Chain A
Amino acid sequence: GDSVTQMEGPVTLSEEAFLTINCTYTATGYPSLFWYVQYPGEGLQLLLKATKADDKGSNKGFEATYRKETTSFHLEKGSVQVSDSAVYFCALSDGGSQGNLIFGKGTKLSVKP
């Protein structure tokens, strides 16, 4: 079945460092891809999405490009802030009418001042 694999955490960075969180997927069709973020004590929030190959999703300085040839959707940010400390989840949807999400295990990011 479809699945998502994320890099293991936790990831600890200093403020203003460059962030990459790797995400690869396995899917039989043409899924849509998502990054969700979970701040401490809060629910999941959609960070960005891409619905077809070569699309780039972006939000709040974060970016991810849908790479069909490498089945990847890596999350990047040029300069992280302490407020970016959270757990980041990569997810895919099979794109059908049900829109079911399949999540990776999550990567915890801690940014130190």
Chain B
Amino acid sequence: EAGVAQSPRYKIIEKRQSVAFWCNPISGHATLYWYQQILGQGPKLLIQFQNNGVVDDSQLPKDRFSAERLKGVDSTLKIQPAKLEDSAVYLCASSLTTYEQYFGPGTRLTVT
């Protein structure tokens, strides 16, 4: 079974630029999550999708972050414009049940 795929793996941008990350969940997983993991901290949930719909985006900085899930499968997370404090690893996860989330390898973003 293929795991959660993410791209790119690494991205370096300057502040005020925009960036987008892509995630392809495990086939059949209705729930998809985006987490932000700042160096030295645990992952923090940004947004959760159930199929096409947003379940929880309470911690998503909506002035600069946006996310969508196309046809209930792939998802894209965008940052525009980026700030220095957005430097982090962005993790995508998917799940079939509420008890087990499967994580992708993450995208490491550096904002200079």
- Whether both chains belong to one complex is answered with yes
Q: Which of B11-19, B40-48, B69-77, B79-87 contacts A (4 or more CB under 8 A)?
A: B40-48
Would you call A43 and B91 a contact (CB within 8 A)?
yes
Interface size on B (CB < 8 Å)? 25
Tell whether B4 is near chain A: CB-to-CB under 8 Å: yes
Binding site for A on B (CB under 8 A): 3-4, 31, 40-45, 48, 55-56, 91, 93, 95, 97-106
> What number of residue pairs across chains A and B have CB atoms under 8 A from each other?
58
The digit string for A88-109, where 1 denotes a CB below 8 A from any CB of B, is 0101010111111111111000
Given A89-B42, A105-B40, check contact A32 B99 (CB 8 Å): yes
Would you call A104 and B42 a contact (CB within 8 A)?
yes
Would you call A91 and B104 a contact (CB within 8 A)?
no
Would you call B42 and A91 a contact (CB within 8 A)?
yes
Q: Which of A11-19, A44-52, A62-70 contacts B (4 or more CB under 8 A)?
A: A44-52
Binding site for B on A (CB under 8 A): 4, 32, 36, 41-46, 49, 51, 89, 91, 93, 95-106
Taking CB atoms, residues of chain A closer than 8 Å to B104 are: 43
Taking CB atoms, residues of chain A closer than 8 Å to B105 are: 41-43
Q: With A and B bound together, what is the CA distance between A41 and B104 in angstroms?
A: 11
